[in-house]
Protein backbone atom coordinates (compact mmCIF):
# COMPACT_ATOMS: atom_id res chain seq x y z
CA UNK A 1 0.00 0.00 0.00
CA UNK A 2 1.26 3.50 -0.88
CA UNK A 3 1.90 5.98 1.89
CA UNK A 4 0.17 8.64 -0.18
CA UNK A 5 -2.23 8.10 -3.04
CA UNK A 6 -3.42 11.15 -4.97
CA UNK A 7 -6.00 11.24 -7.75
CA UNK A 8 -7.26 14.75 -8.32
CA UNK A 9 -9.63 15.14 -11.23
CA UNK A 10 -10.06 18.84 -10.72
CA UNK A 11 -9.34 21.48 -8.12
CA UNK A 12 -10.95 24.82 -8.85
CA UNK A 13 -10.66 28.11 -6.96
CA UNK A 14 -13.76 30.25 -7.24
CA UNK A 15 -12.50 33.80 -6.91
CA UNK A 16 -15.80 35.55 -7.58
CA UNK A 17 -19.42 35.13 -8.45
CA UNK A 18 -18.98 34.52 -12.19
CA UNK A 19 -17.60 31.27 -13.60
CA UNK A 20 -15.03 33.29 -15.59
CA UNK A 21 -13.25 34.32 -12.42
CA UNK A 22 -12.68 30.72 -11.30
CA UNK A 23 -9.22 29.19 -11.74
CA UNK A 24 -8.45 25.51 -12.27
CA UNK A 25 -5.40 24.92 -10.09
CA UNK A 26 -4.97 21.16 -10.64
CA UNK A 27 -6.36 18.83 -13.28
CA UNK A 28 -5.96 15.06 -13.77
CA UNK A 29 -3.19 14.93 -11.18
CA UNK A 30 -2.18 11.40 -10.20
CA UNK A 31 0.61 10.45 -7.81
CA UNK A 32 1.52 7.43 -5.69
CA UNK A 33 4.22 7.82 -3.05
CA UNK A 34 5.90 4.83 -1.40
CA UNK A 35 6.52 4.60 2.33
CA UNK A 36 9.84 6.21 3.34
CA UNK A 37 10.28 7.92 -0.04
CA UNK A 38 11.50 11.53 -0.23
CA UNK A 39 9.56 13.02 -3.14
CA UNK A 40 10.29 16.50 -4.44
CA UNK A 41 7.52 18.27 -6.30
CA UNK A 42 9.07 20.74 -8.73
CA UNK A 43 7.22 23.31 -10.76
CA UNK A 44 6.96 26.98 -11.62
CA UNK A 45 5.42 29.52 -9.25
CA UNK A 46 1.64 29.34 -9.19
CA UNK A 47 1.39 25.83 -10.69
CA UNK A 48 -0.53 24.47 -7.71
CA UNK A 49 2.27 22.98 -5.57
CA UNK A 50 1.02 24.51 -2.33
CA UNK A 51 -2.55 23.59 -3.27
CA UNK A 52 -1.42 19.98 -3.69
CA UNK A 53 0.21 19.95 -0.23
CA UNK A 54 -2.89 21.52 1.34
CA UNK A 55 -5.03 18.80 -0.21
CA UNK A 56 -2.70 16.00 0.95
CA UNK A 57 -2.55 17.58 4.41
CA UNK A 58 -6.34 17.77 4.64
CA UNK A 59 -6.38 21.57 4.89
CA UNK A 60 -8.63 21.80 1.85
CA UNK A 61 -11.47 19.34 1.17
CA UNK A 62 -12.98 21.14 -1.78
CA UNK A 63 -11.85 19.15 -4.84
CA UNK A 64 -12.94 16.41 -7.21
CA UNK A 65 -11.05 13.17 -6.70
CA UNK A 66 -9.66 10.90 -3.99
CA UNK A 67 -6.64 11.30 -1.71
CA UNK A 68 -5.57 8.78 0.89
CA UNK A 69 -2.76 8.99 3.44
CA UNK A 70 -1.80 5.64 4.93
CA UNK A 71 -5.07 4.24 3.63
CA UNK A 72 -7.37 6.85 5.20
CA UNK A 73 -8.59 10.28 4.17
CA UNK A 74 -6.19 13.17 4.96
CA UNK A 75 -8.65 14.55 7.53
CA UNK A 76 -8.53 11.27 9.48
CA UNK A 77 -4.80 10.72 9.21
CA UNK A 78 -3.14 11.94 12.38
CA UNK A 79 0.53 11.17 11.74
CA UNK A 80 1.27 14.13 9.44
CA UNK A 81 3.85 16.86 10.02
CA UNK A 82 3.68 20.11 8.09
CA UNK A 83 6.27 22.77 7.44
CA UNK A 84 4.92 25.88 5.77
CA UNK A 85 6.72 28.43 3.60
CA UNK A 86 6.95 30.75 6.60
CA UNK A 87 7.63 29.18 10.03
CA UNK A 88 4.20 30.22 11.39
CA UNK A 89 5.28 30.12 15.03
CA UNK A 90 2.85 31.57 17.57
CA UNK A 91 4.51 34.85 18.70
CA UNK A 92 3.02 34.57 22.21
CA UNK A 93 4.46 31.09 22.83
CA UNK A 94 8.13 30.45 23.49
CA UNK A 95 10.09 27.94 21.40
CA UNK A 96 9.36 25.01 23.72
CA UNK A 97 5.67 25.85 23.87
CA UNK A 98 5.50 26.27 20.10
CA UNK A 99 6.99 22.84 19.54
CA UNK A 100 4.77 21.31 22.25
CA UNK A 101 1.62 22.97 20.90
CA UNK A 102 1.00 20.19 18.39
CA UNK A 103 1.42 17.41 20.96
CA UNK A 104 -1.45 16.80 23.31
CA UNK A 105 -1.04 14.97 26.61
CA UNK A 106 1.91 12.66 26.32
CA UNK A 107 3.99 11.25 29.22
CA UNK A 108 7.44 12.20 27.90
CA UNK A 109 6.40 15.37 26.11
CA UNK A 110 8.90 17.71 27.83
CA UNK A 111 11.76 15.27 27.40
CA UNK A 112 10.97 14.83 23.71
CA UNK A 113 10.82 18.59 23.17
CA UNK A 114 14.20 19.06 24.86
CA UNK A 115 15.79 16.25 22.86
CA UNK A 116 14.47 17.53 19.56
CA UNK A 117 15.48 21.11 20.30
CA UNK A 118 18.91 19.91 21.30
CA UNK A 119 19.16 18.12 17.95
CA UNK A 120 18.22 21.39 16.27
CA UNK A 121 20.76 23.25 18.44
CA UNK A 122 17.96 25.29 19.92
CA UNK A 123 18.03 23.92 23.47
CA UNK A 124 19.40 27.20 24.82
CA UNK A 125 16.47 29.05 23.28
CA UNK A 126 13.69 26.87 24.67
CA UNK A 127 12.25 29.83 26.63
CA UNK A 128 12.85 32.45 23.94
CA UNK A 129 10.00 34.07 22.03
CA UNK A 130 10.09 33.79 18.21
CA UNK A 131 10.67 37.52 17.73
CA UNK A 132 14.07 37.19 19.40
CA UNK A 133 15.17 34.41 17.01
CA UNK A 134 16.87 34.69 13.61
CA UNK A 135 15.11 33.48 10.45
CA UNK A 136 17.12 30.24 10.42
CA UNK A 137 16.37 29.55 14.09
CA UNK A 138 12.66 30.04 13.49
CA UNK A 139 12.78 27.53 10.63
CA UNK A 140 14.61 25.07 12.90
CA UNK A 141 11.90 25.51 15.51
CA UNK A 142 9.26 24.89 12.83
CA UNK A 143 11.18 21.78 11.74
CA UNK A 144 11.23 20.55 15.35
CA UNK A 145 7.49 21.15 15.56
CA UNK A 146 6.98 19.14 12.38
CA UNK A 147 8.92 16.20 13.83
CA UNK A 148 7.70 16.21 17.44
CA UNK A 149 4.64 14.14 16.55
CA UNK A 150 6.93 11.52 14.93
CA UNK A 151 4.97 11.77 11.70
CA UNK A 152 4.78 9.03 9.09
CA UNK A 153 4.32 11.72 6.48
CA UNK A 154 6.05 15.07 6.34
CA UNK A 155 4.77 17.83 4.07
CA UNK A 156 7.20 20.66 3.35
CA UNK A 157 6.26 23.72 1.35
CA UNK A 158 9.44 25.49 0.16
CA UNK A 159 10.55 25.65 3.79
CA UNK A 160 14.02 27.04 3.14
CA UNK A 161 13.01 29.77 0.71
CA UNK A 162 14.75 33.13 1.17
CA UNK A 163 17.32 31.77 3.63
CA UNK A 164 20.98 32.38 2.97
CA UNK A 165 22.79 29.44 1.38
CA UNK A 166 24.83 28.12 4.38
CA UNK A 167 21.82 28.24 6.71
CA UNK A 168 19.54 26.60 4.13
CA UNK A 169 22.08 23.83 3.48
CA UNK A 170 22.48 23.18 7.19
CA UNK A 171 18.72 22.86 7.54
CA UNK A 172 18.54 20.57 4.51
CA UNK A 173 21.10 18.25 6.13
CA UNK A 174 19.14 18.28 9.38
CA UNK A 175 15.96 17.43 7.49
CA UNK A 176 17.57 14.53 5.64
CA UNK A 177 19.03 13.12 8.87
CA UNK A 178 15.71 13.31 10.67
CA UNK A 179 13.80 11.75 7.78
CA UNK A 180 16.30 8.93 7.48
CA UNK A 181 16.37 8.17 11.20
CA UNK A 182 12.61 8.19 11.55
CA UNK A 183 11.88 6.55 8.17
CA UNK A 184 9.41 9.30 7.38
CA UNK A 185 7.81 9.74 3.99
CA UNK A 186 8.37 13.30 2.76
CA UNK A 187 6.70 15.42 0.11
CA UNK A 188 8.90 18.45 -0.48
CA UNK A 189 7.69 21.28 -2.69
CA UNK A 190 10.29 23.48 -4.38
CA UNK A 191 10.99 25.40 -7.54
CA UNK A 192 14.73 24.95 -7.07
CA UNK A 193 16.02 22.08 -9.25
CA UNK A 194 19.36 21.71 -7.44
CA UNK A 195 17.62 21.53 -4.07
CA UNK A 196 15.26 18.88 -5.42
CA UNK A 197 18.11 16.73 -6.81
CA UNK A 198 20.09 17.04 -3.60
CA UNK A 199 17.19 16.09 -1.32
CA UNK A 200 14.90 13.83 -3.30
CA UNK A 201 14.74 10.10 -4.00
CA UNK A 202 12.26 11.02 -6.66
CA UNK A 203 11.41 14.15 -8.65
CA UNK A 204 7.91 14.94 -9.84
CA UNK A 205 7.65 17.86 -12.26
CA UNK A 206 4.46 19.82 -12.63
CA UNK A 207 3.21 21.84 -15.57
CA UNK A 208 1.98 25.41 -15.33
CA UNK A 209 -1.66 26.09 -14.45
CA UNK A 210 -3.62 23.84 -14.33
CA UNK A 211 -0.96 21.75 -12.61
CA UNK A 212 -0.48 18.12 -13.60
CA UNK A 213 2.43 15.67 -13.58
CA UNK A 214 4.61 16.11 -16.68
CA UNK A 215 7.70 14.17 -15.61
CA UNK A 216 8.28 11.64 -12.86
CA UNK A 217 11.76 10.21 -12.35
CA UNK A 218 13.92 8.57 -9.69
CA UNK A 219 17.17 10.17 -8.62
CA UNK A 220 19.68 7.34 -9.11
CA UNK A 221 22.46 8.96 -7.10
CA UNK A 222 24.19 7.73 -3.92
CA UNK A 223 21.99 8.48 -0.92
CA UNK A 224 24.87 10.03 1.06
CA UNK A 225 25.37 12.79 -1.51
CA UNK A 226 26.33 16.36 -0.73
CA UNK A 227 24.97 19.46 -2.44
CA UNK A 228 28.35 20.24 -3.94
CA UNK A 229 28.86 16.69 -5.31
CA UNK A 230 29.65 16.66 -9.05
CA UNK A 231 26.98 13.93 -9.41
CA UNK A 232 24.28 16.40 -8.42
CA UNK A 233 25.44 18.92 -11.01
CA UNK A 234 25.80 16.19 -13.67
CA UNK A 235 22.30 14.91 -12.97
CA UNK A 236 20.94 18.43 -13.30
CA UNK A 237 22.88 19.06 -16.48
CA UNK A 238 21.66 15.80 -18.09
CA UNK A 239 18.11 16.54 -17.06
CA UNK A 240 18.17 19.98 -18.61
CA UNK A 241 19.70 18.50 -21.79
CA UNK A 242 17.17 15.69 -22.06
CA UNK A 243 14.12 17.83 -21.35
CA UNK A 244 14.98 21.32 -22.55
CA UNK A 245 11.47 22.14 -23.71
CA UNK A 246 9.81 20.58 -20.75
CA UNK A 247 11.90 22.37 -18.20
CA UNK A 248 12.47 25.67 -19.98
CA UNK A 249 10.56 28.37 -18.25
CA UNK A 250 9.11 25.95 -15.73
CA UNK A 251 11.89 26.02 -13.22
CA UNK A 252 13.63 28.91 -11.65
CA UNK A 253 16.96 27.16 -11.75
CA UNK A 254 18.49 29.01 -8.85
CA UNK A 255 22.03 28.63 -7.63
CA UNK A 256 21.11 28.27 -3.98
CA UNK A 257 22.26 24.70 -3.29
CA UNK A 258 25.86 23.68 -3.49
CA UNK A 259 27.50 27.06 -3.79
CA UNK A 260 28.48 27.37 -0.18
CA UNK B 1 19.77 55.26 28.61
CA UNK B 2 18.96 51.96 30.37
CA UNK B 3 15.45 50.50 30.57
CA UNK B 4 15.32 51.05 34.36
CA UNK B 5 16.24 54.72 33.93
CA UNK B 6 13.57 55.13 31.26
CA UNK B 7 10.91 53.57 33.55
CA UNK B 8 12.05 55.78 36.46
CA UNK B 9 11.81 58.84 34.21
CA UNK B 10 8.30 57.89 33.11
CA UNK B 11 7.17 57.45 36.75
CA UNK B 12 8.70 60.75 37.79
CA UNK B 13 6.86 62.45 34.89
CA UNK B 14 3.58 60.94 36.09
CA UNK B 15 4.15 62.07 39.67
CA UNK B 16 5.29 65.54 38.58
CA UNK B 17 2.18 66.10 36.45
CA UNK B 18 -0.06 65.02 39.35
CA UNK B 19 1.74 67.36 41.77
CA UNK B 20 1.46 70.18 39.22
CA UNK B 21 -2.29 69.55 38.88
CA UNK B 22 -2.72 69.71 42.69
CA UNK B 23 -0.73 72.96 42.85
CA UNK B 24 -2.84 74.59 40.11
CA UNK B 25 -5.99 73.41 41.88
CA UNK B 26 -4.74 74.75 45.24
CA UNK B 27 -3.94 78.18 43.77
CA UNK B 28 -7.21 78.28 41.82
CA UNK B 29 -9.17 77.56 45.00
CA UNK B 30 -7.52 80.59 46.65
CA UNK B 31 -8.60 82.89 43.81
CA UNK B 32 -12.09 81.41 43.37
CA UNK B 33 -14.65 81.20 46.18
CA UNK B 34 -13.69 78.21 48.36
CA UNK B 35 -17.30 76.98 48.42
CA UNK B 36 -17.32 76.78 44.61
CA UNK B 37 -13.86 75.23 44.30
CA UNK B 38 -12.71 73.69 47.58
CA UNK B 39 -8.95 73.18 47.94
CA UNK B 40 -7.38 69.70 47.63
CA UNK B 41 -6.63 69.76 51.35
CA UNK B 42 -10.25 70.44 52.16
CA UNK B 43 -11.40 67.61 49.84
CA UNK B 44 -8.89 65.25 51.46
CA UNK B 45 -10.18 66.20 54.89
CA UNK B 46 -13.74 65.62 53.65
CA UNK B 47 -12.78 62.14 52.37
CA UNK B 48 -11.32 61.36 55.81
CA UNK B 49 -14.48 62.62 57.51
CA UNK B 50 -16.87 60.63 55.25
CA UNK B 51 -14.69 57.57 55.54
CA UNK B 52 -14.68 57.41 59.34
CA UNK B 53 -17.80 59.32 60.35
CA UNK B 54 -20.00 58.82 57.28
CA UNK B 55 -20.87 55.98 54.94
CA UNK B 56 -18.35 56.54 52.15
CA UNK B 57 -16.95 53.02 52.43
CA UNK B 58 -20.34 51.28 52.18
CA UNK B 59 -21.43 53.57 49.31
CA UNK B 60 -18.25 52.83 47.39
CA UNK B 61 -18.66 49.08 48.07
CA UNK B 62 -22.27 49.10 46.79
CA UNK B 63 -21.32 51.02 43.62
CA UNK B 64 -18.30 48.77 43.09
CA UNK B 65 -20.52 45.68 43.30
CA UNK B 66 -22.86 47.14 40.65
CA UNK B 67 -19.88 48.06 38.48
CA UNK B 68 -18.46 44.52 38.83
CA UNK B 69 -21.68 42.67 37.99
CA UNK B 70 -22.56 44.97 35.04
CA UNK B 71 -19.00 44.82 33.74
CA UNK B 72 -18.87 41.02 33.71
CA UNK B 73 -22.33 40.66 32.12
CA UNK B 74 -21.46 43.18 29.38
CA UNK B 75 -18.06 41.59 28.76
CA UNK B 76 -19.35 38.00 28.67
CA UNK B 77 -22.18 38.66 26.25
CA UNK B 78 -20.23 41.28 24.29
CA UNK B 79 -17.28 38.92 23.72
CA UNK B 80 -19.56 36.06 22.63
CA UNK B 81 -21.60 38.17 20.20
CA UNK B 82 -18.56 40.11 18.93
CA UNK B 83 -16.61 36.92 18.14
CA UNK B 84 -19.70 35.41 16.47
CA UNK B 85 -20.09 38.50 14.26
CA UNK B 86 -16.38 38.61 13.48
CA UNK B 87 -16.26 34.95 12.45
CA UNK B 88 -19.56 34.63 10.60
CA UNK B 89 -20.55 37.00 7.81
CA UNK B 90 -24.25 36.09 8.02
CA UNK B 91 -24.43 36.87 11.74
CA UNK B 92 -22.48 40.06 11.10
CA UNK B 93 -24.95 41.16 8.44
CA UNK B 94 -27.94 40.18 10.56
CA UNK B 95 -26.81 41.97 13.72
CA UNK B 96 -24.94 44.96 12.29
CA UNK B 97 -28.02 47.18 12.04
CA UNK B 98 -29.01 46.41 15.62
CA UNK B 99 -25.46 47.10 16.75
CA UNK B 100 -25.42 50.55 15.13
CA UNK B 101 -28.82 51.26 16.68
CA UNK B 102 -27.66 50.25 20.16
CA UNK B 103 -24.42 52.24 19.81
CA UNK B 104 -26.43 55.38 19.11
CA UNK B 105 -29.05 54.84 21.77
CA UNK B 106 -28.44 57.46 24.49
CA UNK B 107 -27.41 55.97 27.83
CA UNK B 108 -30.03 58.02 29.61
CA UNK B 109 -32.85 56.63 27.43
CA UNK B 110 -31.77 53.06 28.19
CA UNK B 111 -31.66 53.79 31.92
CA UNK B 112 -35.11 55.45 31.95
CA UNK B 113 -36.67 52.67 29.86
CA UNK B 114 -35.18 49.94 32.08
CA UNK B 115 -36.55 51.66 35.20
CA UNK B 116 -39.96 52.12 33.55
CA UNK B 117 -40.16 48.53 32.29
CA UNK B 118 -38.61 46.65 35.21
CA UNK B 119 -39.17 49.04 38.14
CA UNK B 120 -36.68 50.91 40.32
CA UNK B 121 -34.83 47.76 41.32
CA UNK B 122 -31.37 46.25 41.24
CA UNK B 123 -32.14 44.18 38.16
CA UNK B 124 -33.12 47.22 36.08
CA UNK B 125 -30.04 49.14 37.29
CA UNK B 126 -27.58 46.41 36.36
CA UNK B 127 -29.36 45.67 33.09
CA UNK B 128 -29.28 49.35 32.06
CA UNK B 129 -25.53 49.60 32.68
CA UNK B 130 -24.82 46.31 30.90
CA UNK B 131 -26.88 47.31 27.84
CA UNK B 132 -24.95 50.57 27.59
CA UNK B 133 -21.57 48.86 27.69
CA UNK B 134 -22.47 45.77 25.63
CA UNK B 135 -22.33 47.24 22.05
CA UNK B 136 -18.90 48.80 22.64
CA UNK B 137 -17.50 45.40 23.65
CA UNK B 138 -19.16 43.81 20.60
CA UNK B 139 -17.53 46.32 18.21
CA UNK B 140 -14.09 45.78 19.77
CA UNK B 141 -14.33 41.99 19.77
CA UNK B 142 -15.75 41.85 16.25
CA UNK B 143 -12.66 43.67 14.99
CA UNK B 144 -10.49 41.33 17.06
CA UNK B 145 -12.13 38.23 15.62
CA UNK B 146 -11.76 39.60 12.08
CA UNK B 147 -8.05 40.21 12.67
CA UNK B 148 -7.36 36.62 13.77
CA UNK B 149 -4.52 35.22 11.65
CA UNK B 150 -5.95 32.30 9.66
CA UNK B 151 -2.44 31.09 8.76
CA UNK B 152 -1.79 30.39 12.43
CA UNK B 153 -5.09 28.56 12.78
CA UNK B 154 -4.12 26.49 9.75
CA UNK B 155 -1.12 25.21 11.72
CA UNK B 156 -3.42 23.63 14.30
CA UNK B 157 -5.60 22.25 11.51
CA UNK B 158 -2.56 20.68 9.80
CA UNK B 159 -1.39 19.03 13.02
CA UNK B 160 -4.92 18.01 14.08
CA UNK B 161 -4.66 19.96 17.36
CA UNK B 162 -7.80 19.58 19.50
CA UNK B 163 -10.41 22.38 19.32
CA UNK B 164 -9.88 23.07 23.05
CA UNK B 165 -6.13 23.61 22.64
CA UNK B 166 -6.67 25.57 19.42
CA UNK B 167 -9.06 27.95 21.18
CA UNK B 168 -6.97 28.57 24.30
CA UNK B 169 -3.47 28.47 22.79
CA UNK B 170 -3.97 30.02 19.36
CA UNK B 171 -7.33 31.77 19.02
CA UNK B 172 -7.78 33.46 22.40
CA UNK B 173 -4.24 34.94 22.63
CA UNK B 174 -4.95 36.83 19.41
CA UNK B 175 -7.99 38.38 21.08
CA UNK B 176 -6.16 39.45 24.27
CA UNK B 177 -5.29 43.01 23.06
CA UNK B 178 -8.93 43.59 22.15
CA UNK B 179 -10.15 42.04 25.43
CA UNK B 180 -7.82 44.24 27.45
CA UNK B 181 -8.83 47.36 25.50
CA UNK B 182 -12.50 46.50 26.10
CA UNK B 183 -11.86 45.89 29.80
CA UNK B 184 -9.99 49.18 30.24
CA UNK B 185 -12.50 51.36 28.40
CA UNK B 186 -15.32 49.30 29.90
CA UNK B 187 -14.33 49.87 33.49
CA UNK B 188 -14.09 53.61 32.96
CA UNK B 189 -17.42 53.79 31.14
CA UNK B 190 -19.36 51.40 33.38
CA UNK B 191 -18.66 53.23 36.61
CA UNK B 192 -19.72 56.54 35.10
CA UNK B 193 -23.02 55.04 33.92
CA UNK B 194 -23.55 53.32 37.29
CA UNK B 195 -23.45 56.75 38.97
CA UNK B 196 -26.22 58.04 36.67
CA UNK B 197 -28.26 54.88 37.28
CA UNK B 198 -27.88 55.32 41.06
CA UNK B 199 -28.69 59.01 40.85
CA UNK B 200 -31.91 58.34 38.94
CA UNK B 201 -33.33 55.30 40.64
CA UNK B 202 -31.43 53.82 43.59
CA UNK B 203 -31.39 54.70 47.27
CA UNK B 204 -27.74 53.86 47.91
CA UNK B 205 -24.32 53.98 46.29
CA UNK B 206 -22.00 56.82 45.28
CA UNK B 207 -24.42 58.14 42.63
CA UNK B 208 -27.25 58.42 45.14
CA UNK B 209 -24.97 60.28 47.55
CA UNK B 210 -23.83 62.67 44.81
CA UNK B 211 -27.50 63.45 44.15
CA UNK B 212 -28.07 64.36 47.79
CA UNK B 213 -24.95 66.55 48.00
CA UNK B 214 -25.99 68.22 44.75
CA UNK B 215 -29.28 69.24 46.38
CA UNK B 216 -27.30 70.76 49.29
CA UNK B 217 -24.78 72.38 46.92
CA UNK B 218 -22.05 70.58 48.89
CA UNK B 219 -19.26 70.64 46.31
CA UNK B 220 -16.63 69.44 48.80
CA UNK B 221 -18.54 66.20 49.48
CA UNK B 222 -19.26 65.72 45.76
CA UNK B 223 -15.52 65.91 45.03
CA UNK B 224 -14.70 63.75 48.07
CA UNK B 225 -16.97 60.94 46.86
CA UNK B 226 -15.80 61.28 43.26
CA UNK B 227 -12.11 61.17 44.13
CA UNK B 228 -12.62 58.27 46.51
CA UNK B 229 -14.18 56.24 43.73
CA UNK B 230 -11.60 57.33 41.14
CA UNK B 231 -8.97 56.15 43.61
CA UNK B 232 -10.65 52.73 43.84
CA UNK B 233 -10.81 52.39 40.03
CA UNK B 234 -7.14 53.38 39.79
CA UNK B 235 -6.27 50.69 42.33
CA UNK B 236 -8.15 48.12 40.21
CA UNK B 237 -6.25 49.27 37.12
CA UNK B 238 -2.94 49.15 39.01
CA UNK B 239 -3.44 45.81 40.79
CA UNK B 240 -5.54 43.85 38.31
CA UNK B 241 -5.59 45.16 34.73
CA UNK B 242 -2.02 46.45 34.39
CA UNK B 243 -0.40 43.23 35.76
CA UNK B 244 -2.74 41.15 33.56
CA UNK B 245 -1.73 43.26 30.56
CA UNK B 246 1.97 42.78 31.36
CA UNK B 247 1.53 39.03 31.78
CA UNK B 248 -0.54 38.43 28.65
CA UNK B 249 1.47 40.78 26.44
CA UNK B 250 4.91 39.79 27.76
CA UNK B 251 5.88 38.34 24.36
CA UNK B 252 5.61 41.77 22.72
E strand or H helix that includes residue A67: strand A64-69
Nearest CA in chain B to A147: B159
Least confidently predicted of A6-10, B1-5, B247-251: B1-5
Residue A252's pLDDT band, with cuts at 50, 70 and 90, is very low
What lies within 8 Å, CB to CB, of A160 at 6+ separation is: A139, A168, A171, A172, A195
Q: What is the pLDDT of residue A138?
A: 92
- Do B173 and A90 lie within an 8 Å CB cutoff? yes
Q: Residue A80's pLDDT is what?
A: 85
Of B157, B162, B169, the CB nearest to A59: B157
DSSP-based three-state secondary structure for A122: coil
- Radius of gyration of chain B from its Cα atoms, rounded to whole angstroms: 22
Residue of A nearest to B173 (CA): A92
**What is the arithmetic mean of pLDDT over A97-125?**
87
A80 in contact with B at a CB cutoff of 8 Å? yes
> Residue B217 pLDDT more than 70?
yes
CA distance B121 to B153: 45
Does residue A101 sit at the B interface (CB-CB below 8 Å)? yes
Percent of chain B with pLDDT over 90: 65
- Tell me how many residue pairs between chain A and chain B have CB atoms under 8 A apart: 55
Q: How confident is the model at residue A255 (pLDDT cuts 50, 70, 90)?
A: very low
The pLDDT assigned to A260 comes to 36
CATH number of B57-251: 1.10.3720.10
**Rounded percentage of chain B residues whose pLDDT exceeds 70:** 99
Chain B contact present for A104, CB below 8 A: yes
Residue B90 has pLDDT above 90, yes or no: yes
Pair A171, A138: CB distance under 8 Å: no
pLDDT band with cut points at 50, 70 and 90 for residue A100: very high
Is there a contact between B165 and A88 if contact means CB atoms under 8 Å apart?
Answer: no
> What pLDDT, on the 0 to 100 scale, is given for residue A247?
67
Q: What is the pLDDT of residue A248?
A: 63
- Among B12, B98, B60, which Cα is nearest to B194's? B60
Partner B contacted by A5 (CB < 8 A):
no
What would the pLDDT profile of B127-147 be if each residue is shown by its tens digit?
999 999 999 999 999 999 999
pLDDT at position B101, please? Answer: 94
Chain B positions touching chain A (beta carbons under 8 Å): 151-152, 154-162, 165, 169-170, 173, 176, 251-252
Please say if the pLDDT value at position B207 is more than 90.
Answer: yes
**Which of B159, B160, B251 lies at the smallest CB-CB distance from A92?**
B251
Q: Of A48-52, A95-99, B50-54, give the lowest mean pLDDT range.
A: B50-54
Interface touch A84/B155, C-beta < 8 Å: yes
Distance from CA of A107 to the nearest CA of B (A): 17
* CB-neighbour burial class of residue B151 (10 A; exposed 0-12, middle 13-18, buried 19+): exposed
**Percentage of chain A exceeding pLDDT 90:** 23
Q: Kindly indicate the confidence band of residue A250, based on its pLDDT and cuts at 50, 70 and 90.
A: low
Inter-chain touch B152–A90, beta carbons under 8 Å? yes
The per-residue pLDDT for range B49-84, each reduced to its tens digit, is 998 888 899 999 999 999 999 999 999 999 999 999
Count Cβ atoms below 10 Å from residue B137 Cβ, excluding itself: 28
Reply yes or no on whether the pLDDT at B1 is more than 80.
Answer: no
Q: How far is A126 from chain B (nearest CA, A)?
A: 14
Q: Is residue A19 over pLDDT 70?
A: no
A86: contact with B, CB 8 A cutoff: yes
pLDDT, residue B174, reads 94
Residue A50, C-beta contacts closer than 8 angstroms, at least 6 positions apart: A85, A157, A189
Which is higher by pLDDT, B167 or A246? B167
Q: What is the mean pLDDT of chain B?
A: 90
- The more confident residue out of B248 and A39 is A39
Residues 6+ apart with CB under 8 A from B31: none
Residue A2 has pLDDT above 60, yes or no: yes
Q: What's the CA gap between B139 and B98, in Å, rounded?
A: 12
What residues of A are in contact with residue B173 (Cβ under 8 Å)?
Answer: 90, 92
CA distance A154 to chain B (A): 11
Q: Which carries the bigger pLDDT value, residue B117 or residue A165?
A: B117
**pTM of the predicted structure, to 2 decimals:** 0.79
CB neighbours of residue A207 within 10 Å: 18
Residue A94, min C-alpha distance to chain B (Å): 8
Question: Is the confidence at residue A227, as pLDDT, over 80?
Answer: no
Strand residue runs (E) in chain B: none
Structural Rg of chain A based on CA atoms: 18
| pLDDT for the residue numbered A17 | 60
Chain B positions in Cβ-Cβ contact with residue A92 (cut-off 8 Å): 173, 176, 251
What is the ipTM metric for this complex?
0.85
Q: What is the pLDDT of residue A254?
A: 45
Amino acid sequence: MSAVSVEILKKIYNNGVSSQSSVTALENFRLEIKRGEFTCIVGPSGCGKTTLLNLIGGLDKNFEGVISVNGVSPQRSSAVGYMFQSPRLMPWLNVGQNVGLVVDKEPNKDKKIKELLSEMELDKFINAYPKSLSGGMRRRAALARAFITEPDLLLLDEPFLSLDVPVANRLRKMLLNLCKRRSATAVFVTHDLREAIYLGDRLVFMSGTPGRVVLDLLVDLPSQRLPEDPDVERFRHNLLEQHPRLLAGLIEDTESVGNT
Amino acid sequence: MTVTTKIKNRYSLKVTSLILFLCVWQFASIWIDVDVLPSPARVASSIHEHLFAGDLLSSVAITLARVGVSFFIAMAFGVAVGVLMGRNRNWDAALDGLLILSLNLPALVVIILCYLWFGLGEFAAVLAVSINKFPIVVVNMREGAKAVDMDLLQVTQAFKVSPYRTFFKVYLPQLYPYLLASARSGLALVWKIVLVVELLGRSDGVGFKLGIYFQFFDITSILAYSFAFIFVVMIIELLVIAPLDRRLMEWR
